[in-house]
Amino acid sequence: MKQNIFSRMTLSAWKRDQFGPMIFSCFTAITVMLFSLSILLISNLTGAIDHLMEMAKTPDFLQMHTGELDPIEIETFVKGRQDVEDWQICRFLNIENSILFLGEKTLKDSTQDNGICVQSKGFDLLLNTENQEPEVEPGMVWVPACYQKKYDVQVGDLFYIGKETLTVAGFIRDSQMNSMMASSKRFLVEESDYERLQKYGSEEYLIEFLLKPQADIGSFQTAYENGNLPGNGPTITRPLIRMMNALSDGIMIFILVLISLMVLLISLVCIRFMLLTKMEDEKKEVGLLKAVGIPKKEIRAMFIRRYVILTGIGTGVGFLTSLLVSRPLSEQMRKLYGTGENGIKVLLIAAFGAVVLAGVILLYLFRLLKKLNEMTAIQVLAGQCDTGRKKDGMFCIFLVAAIMVFLMLVPANLYSTMSSERFVTYMGIGNSQIRMDIRQTEDISGKQENLRELLEQDERVEKFSMFQTSQIPAQLSDGEMRNLLVEQGDHTIFPVSYSKGKAPVKAGEIALSSLLAQDMNLDVGDTVSLKPGNSYEDYVICGIYSDITNGGKSAKVNSYIQYDSPQIMWSIVYLTLDPEASQEEWRKDYQIEGVEIADIHDHIEGTYGQTLSQIGKVSVMIKLVAALIMILVIALFLRLLVAKERIQISMKKAMGFVSGGIRNTYLVRAARYMIPGILVGMVLGNFAGEQLCGMALQSLGADGFRFVVNPWEAVCIIPALALAAGLAAMYIGTREIRNIRPVECLQGRE
């Protein structure tokens, strides 16, 4: 008997309003989809990277070195260490990009240091797309997987090195250098080809160590640097390799997690409004059930059963949708890293996350339904109970509009910032027009001075600044020894972003990158001693700047330090041309051996192209999802408001008011909340969003982060999209007004 009554009440409620249950399921589906998608992407990315690094046996500590090398020194050092499991020295032949061609496409504009190597014997293995060691044959070359799409390379294409030709045999995953944020890329060749091609490049050594499981990488690095061992190049550790691999897709996942949390908040607010409205609509039926003696728990269970079904439908649809959406978003990570070992485990974790989220929604509903216990039969039948729905008011529309515009703006602003020329200032690079690199060549100092003379005499060059980078021993106040990558030159012409202090302008001043300052626990005003020759010289820290290159740990001084012997690792020139000068013609005149030229915009694209592509995809998806949520929420709110005021609307029609005029009053009421919500969302997206992204990028070394806003998108496109979604929602939500008849106010709602 009771079950029949409950079933008839449920069917009657659903017949009166199919829109509400559908919207509830949609909210649940969207929330679960975003939450599960975040779990899937995080699990797939970390699992794939860990699996690749395990299969490739990635070293724990890597020291790059250019110049003479004595293996006996390293062997002696290793014998005195109990934390080293294995070590090796790998050769890497750096080749000038201007003589490299993949098929018909030249690599001369590549921002990467490209070269060839042979397969390692013990660890640091280069693997094929099946994460297996490839069979390397003479005359064949294995190309980095990240270049397959970038240069549209196919198996069987030709790879030209000067006058030599190799055939592309396949594509490799390099656990160290997969990411475009790594500055070098290795092509895998057979040993006889490596020896034959040595004349085309300069050799660099990778001194690599595998440490025992419980070893401290930091302590080992300190011991290596204090041991006066080969160190003419950057130092890389396993955690840094893992971070660089995860960064490209990690920023996209960070945005998705942020969005899923915001959508969950919106969903809970809207679910509360819908449930309280439904309780008010059915309070007379609830009062009758209480009057005939049906217990409160059973009445509450009736409501819970309804929403368990709707939540289950929404959870299932959301989870299945997340599986479909995750494939295109994870395409890049599958290509670069493959898949993790535990694919089923990842699915189970995502499914568990979806169930937990559904449980959170149902728990929230359960707490709301406790209001039924507070309603007595007499109060309900007398119309004296209050469900609390009036507290929501039109503020729901304001809240939804603000949050949705905020969510649209954050990825859009992040994309415009990272694709702007100004973003280079967070990379430890000045905001210039052109970058020239002198690397991996003999007599860097001599070529640097020759290039300086040419640029000083070139009237097409508006201004330029030349820098040289060296590895210099440093000693902290507590006696700790470090080798610092120090860039020397005039840092005031093309300044980087300083979060504290200023650029070094005189002798005895040094600026540190944010991560290096944190690592050494130093701040502006502290002192560090450098040893360019036979003695130490004190330098005062004058500034802290952003740098997310070279592992984010570097330093800058204003003058060239004189050495007892040449120790320049590389030289870089930043410059801008006269506006009337042709960059293409200018670049033709500077095709100098050993000098690579790149447009700064191309440099950003080459380094962050993968990340920008992912953020661009997320930005488009979020705009569509946010617009859909705005339509659903505002339409639902207005539809429920019209249902609540149905008798008043009928009375107005009986008095002669037309549907269009009544409808306009609702549109004006909604617009008064929606438009301020859009404006508040714009403010939050540009300022609070900047702080959120800044916190994420600060962990990578980008201090003092500021959005570079695209005004066309931030001020025109996104607000227009939000406004259009709101207007569409208003139209949908107030359509029922035309179906309300004037006689309803006399006979009661049917």
Judge whether residue 374 has pLDDT over 60: no
Amino acid of residue 661: G
Please say whether the beta carbons of 23 and 252 come within 8 A: no
Q: Please tell me the pTM assigned to this model.
A: 0.73
Judge whether residue 410 has pLDDT over 90: no
If one counts every other C-beta atom within 10 angstroms of the C-beta of residue 91, the result is 17
CB-based burial of residue 453 (10 Å sphere; 0-12 exposed, 13-18 middle, 19+ buried)? exposed
The DSSP bridge partners found for residue 597 are 436
Mean pLDDT confidence for 133-140: 91
CB-based burial of residue 743 (10 Å sphere; 0-12 exposed, 13-18 middle, 19+ buried)? exposed
Please tell me the predicted confidence (pLDDT) of residue 646.
77
Nearest residue to 301 via CA among 26, 29, 21, 2: 2
Nearest residue to 434 via CA among 470, 458, 469: 458
Mean pLDDT confidence for 83-106: 88
Distance CA 469, CA 485 (A): 7
Judge whether residue 190 has pLDDT over 90: yes
Mean pLDDT confidence for 417-421: 76
Please tell me the predicted confidence (pLDDT) of residue 289.
61
Mean pLDDT confidence for 204-229: 85
Judge whether residue 563 has pLDDT over 60: no
Sign of CA dihedral 37, 41, 42, 48: positive
Distance CA 258, CA 615 (A): 13
Predicted confidence (pLDDT) per residue in 497-508, tens digit:
888 889 898 888
Distance CA 701, CA 112 (A): 21
Mean pLDDT confidence for 230-248: 78
H or E element, residue 46: helix 19-56
Mean pLDDT confidence for 205-227: 86
Task: Report in angstroms the alpha-carbon separations of 228 from 73, 89, 160, 217, 221.
Answer: 9, 17, 39, 18, 12
H or E element, residue 126: strand 126-128
Contacting residues for 361 by C-beta, under 8 A, at least 6 apart: 28, 31, 267, 268, 271, 311
Contacting residues for 678 by C-beta, under 8 A, at least 6 apart: 401, 402, 405, 719, 722, 723, 726
Please say whether the beta carbons of 354 and 319 come within 8 A: yes
Mean pLDDT confidence for 617-644: 83
Q: Which two tokens stand for residue 88?
A: 């090796």
Band (605; pLDDT cuts 50, 70, 90)? confident
Band (696; pLDDT cuts 50, 70, 90)? low
Nearest residue to 546 via CA among 698, 706, 709: 698
Please say whether the beta carbons of 197 and 93 come within 8 A: yes
Distance CA 369, CA 437 (A): 68
Nearest residue to 456 via CA among 625, 630, 575: 575
Judge whether residue 104 has pLDDT over 60: yes
Amino acid of residue 402: A
Backbone angles phi and psi of 181, in degrees to 5: -75, -20
Distance CA 639, CA 663 (A): 12
Predicted confidence (pLDDT) per residue in 658-667, tens digit:
878 888 888 8
Amino acid of residue 203: E
Sign of CA dihedral 522, 550, 615, 431: positive
Nearest residue to 202 via CA among 374, 68, 325: 68
Exposure letters 526-554 (e unless 16+ CB within 10 A, then b):
bebebebeeeeeebebbbbbbbbbbbbbb
Please tell me the predicted confidence (pLDDT) of residue 385.
47
What one-character-per-residue DSSP string does 574-629 give? EEEE-TTS-HHHHHHHT--TTEEEEEHHHHHHHHHHHHHHHHHHHHHHHHHHHHHH
Q: Which two tokens stand for residue 676?
A: 């301020």
The DSSP bridge partners found for residue 573 are 436, 466
Please tell me the predicted confidence (pLDDT) of residue 720.
92
Pair type for strands 527-530 and 555-557: unpaired
Band (9; pLDDT cuts 50, 70, 90)? low
Pair type for strands 555-557 and 481-489: parallel
Backbone angles phi and psi of 70, in degrees to 5: -115, 105
Distance CA 190, CA 187 (A): 10
Predicted confidence (pLDDT) per residue in 451-482, tens digit:
888 898 888 999 999 988 887 888 877 777 77
